[in-house]
Amino acid sequence: MTLIVQKYGGTSVGTIEKIGKVADKVCAHVKNGEQVVVAVSAMSGETNRLIALAEEMSEQPHPRELDVLVSTGEQVTIALLTMALHDRGCDAKSYTGSQIRMLTDSAHGKARIREIQCDAIHKDLEHGRVVVVAGFQGVDEHGNITTLGRGGSDTTAVAMAAALKADECQIYTDVDGVYTTDPRIEPKARKLDKITFEEMLEMASLGSKVLQIRSVEFAGKYNVPLRVLSSFQEGEGTLISLEDENVEQATIAGIAFAKDEAQLTIAGVPDRPGVASLILGPITEANIEIDMIVQNIGADGSTDFTFTVHRNDFPKALSLLEHTSAELGAKQVIGDDQIVKVSLVGVGMRSHAGIANTMFQTLAREGINIRMISTSEIKISVVIDQKYLELAVRSLHEAFGLDVDGKIQK
Ligand code: ASP
Ligand code: MG
């Protein structure tokens, strides 16, 4: 018998009518003879509303209590959806994270799943019942409610699918699949029928917001076929799975971008062991995530060091760097928070040479200056001025044949 785990996001369960539509969909799968586990998010806007309440109440809400509060959003949805299923003659039962025992560590607000107890769920499924699980929440070994981080319901669904060895994990959302790039920037963006876990992970880490990054990691690790589909439109969506060895992979899967980047340079630092850690140490200690790092070859005993951070962290990083600069006797600190990162992603890069060159030529033709470059096996990222973001994305999209009906330019 086919077992599927479905996840419905906030917009899919945003109103009573929409929850009814979800119930119709779930019932159709049951009538089709499938076993169904459903994970749901809070109704759209609800999690933000709860966080705002907490912030109104207290300057620094206690993380444990914040989790108690924000986890209520999903509890509302599981109850409503289960009622809707009952009204449609579909046997169903709801579970909170602690009821199924979605056991996590104790890191409130960003807890990691350790283990899921599946006995009760298996029994329900055997009795033909739909199991409705609250996404985003778990419980630690001491019985405290935890949450998995924003967008965590995706991870709930994938973890359930892995634990139950489901045939597929279907993520229903407000877009009909994963696109070659953000259609708001490039209207010719194309929906992908398939993408690999690795590519999806890069796309998610590089700024595509369709799935929570952790859910993709999880799906890859346990080889759970993951499908992104629209709640509102018919269609096959996009299947995220292992690389198909027999099929020649398209060279480039997509173009991702991160808009909110900032670049910092410390120039004229002494070129000696330990300097990188002296520069970056205070930044990481302040919990600022560092993205790209470039250090020049030293000349005359000194060197320049550049890195990028999220734009929100820019003022803090800049002041820390100025402090370090004074200590090290560096020449100057330069900062720019009007930059973006654009990345090409594709497993086909492994077997196709010349991708980087095509990328650089395309940007050069448009007069776009590249400030930093970084590469991995399946991606090439460049940092450019923010004002060129759209031009860069569109010209690369065309150059790599990603446009609807597009062809690779020679
Ligand atoms: N409701 C949570 C959030 O808004 C979890 C989720 O929707 O995945 O982040
Ligand atoms: Mg979401």
Rounded-to-integer distance, Cα 203 and Cα 343, Å: 9
H/E/C letters for each residue in 357-371? HHHHHHHHHCCCCCC
Kindly state whether residue 161 falls inside one of the protein's structural domains. yes
Contact in structure between 6 and 172 (CB atoms under 8 Å): yes
Position 246 scores a pLDDT of 60
Distance 27 CA to ligand 1 centre (A): 24
Cα of 47 from ligand 1 centre, angstroms = 6
User: What is the CATH number for 326?
Assistant: 3.30.2130.10
Answer yes or no: is 405 within a domain: no
First to last CA, the chain: 49
Q: Is residue 226, in this structure, part of any structural domain at all?
A: no
Contact predicate 137/74, CB 8 Å: yes
Domain final residue pick, 132, 158, 174: 174
For residues 188 and 182, is the Cβ–Cβ distance under 8 A? no
Give the number of other CB atoms < 10 A from CB of residue 106. 14
Nearest ligand, CA of residue 42?
A: 1
Write the DSSP symbol of residue 56: H
Pairing of strands 238-241, 194-196: parallel
Residue 144 has a pLDDT of 98
Beta-carbon count within 10 A of 235 CB: 10
- 230 occurs within a structural domain: no
**How much is the average pLDDT of 206-231?**
90
pLDDT at residue 410, rounded to an integer = 40
Q: What is the pLDDT of residue 298?
A: 82
Asked if residue 316 belongs to a domain, the reply is yes
Q: Do 297 and 390 belong to one domain?
A: yes
Residue 126 pLDDT level (bands cut at 50, 70, 90)? very high
Mean pLDDT computed over 209-215: 88
State whether the beta carbon of 381 lies less than 6 angstroms from ligand 1.
no
Q: CA–CA separation, 107 vs 36, rounded Å?
A: 30
Given pLDDT bands bounded at 50, 70 and 90, which one contains residue 247?
A: low
Provide the token pair at 47: 């999690």
Cα–Cα nearest to 225, from 155, 159, 169: 169
Quick one: 50 exposed, middle or buried, by C-beta within 10 A (0-12, 13-18, 19+)?
middle
407 confidence band (pLDDT: 50, 70, 90): low
Q: Is 241 helix (H, G, I), strand (E, B) or coil?
A: strand
Distance of CA 3 to the CA centre of its chain: 25
Last-in-domain residue among 174, 207, 223: 174
User: What 3-state DSSP class applies to 244?
Assistant: coil
Residue 279 has a pLDDT of 96
Is residue 185, in this structure, part of any structural domain at all? no
Ligand sitting nearest the alpha carbon of 70:
1
pLDDT value at residue 248: 63
41 pocket-lining for ligand 1 (C-beta < 6 Å)? yes
- Which ligand places an atom closest to the C-alpha of 209? 2
Tell me which of 40, 44, 46, 47 to substitute to probe ligand 1's pocket, judged by most ligand atoms within 8 Å of the beta carbon. Answer: 47
CB 215 less than 6 A from any atom of ligand 1: no
User: What percent of the chain lies above the pLDDT cut of 90?
Assistant: 88
Strands, DSSP E only, in 41-117?
92-95, 102-104, 113-116
- Is the pLDDT at 251 greater than 90? The verdict is no
Residue 282 placed within a domain: yes
145-167 b/e with 16+ CB inside 10 Å = b? bbbbeebbbbbbbbbbbbbbebe
User: What is the number of domains present in the chain?
Assistant: 2
CATH (domain of 93): 3.40.1160.10
**Which of 119, 151, 174 is the last residue before a domain boundary?**
174
pLDDT-derived band at 382 (thresholds 50, 70, 90) equals: very high
Instruction: Please name which of 237, 53, 48 lies closest in space to residue 151, comparing C-alpha atoms.
Output: 48
Nearest to 380 by CA among 407, 408, 341, 406: 341
Which residues, including other chains, have CB under 8 Å from residue 49's CB and lie 6 or more apart?
Answer: none
**Residue 356: CB partners within 8 Å, gap ≥ 6?**
375, 380
264 and 389 within one domain? yes
Q: Which helix (H) or strand (E) holds 49?
A: helix 46-57
Q: Residue 36 belongs to what domain range? A: 3-174
Of the candidates 5, 1, 81, the residue with the CA atom closest to the CA atom of residue 34: 1
pLDDT exceeds 90 at position 290: yes
pLDDT band, very low/low/confident/very high, at 204 (cuts 50, 70, 90)? confident
Q: Is residue 186 part of a domain?
A: no
pTM over the 0.85 mark = yes
Tell whether 259 and 160 lie within a shared domain: no
Query: What mean pLDDT comes out for the span 229-233?
Result: 92
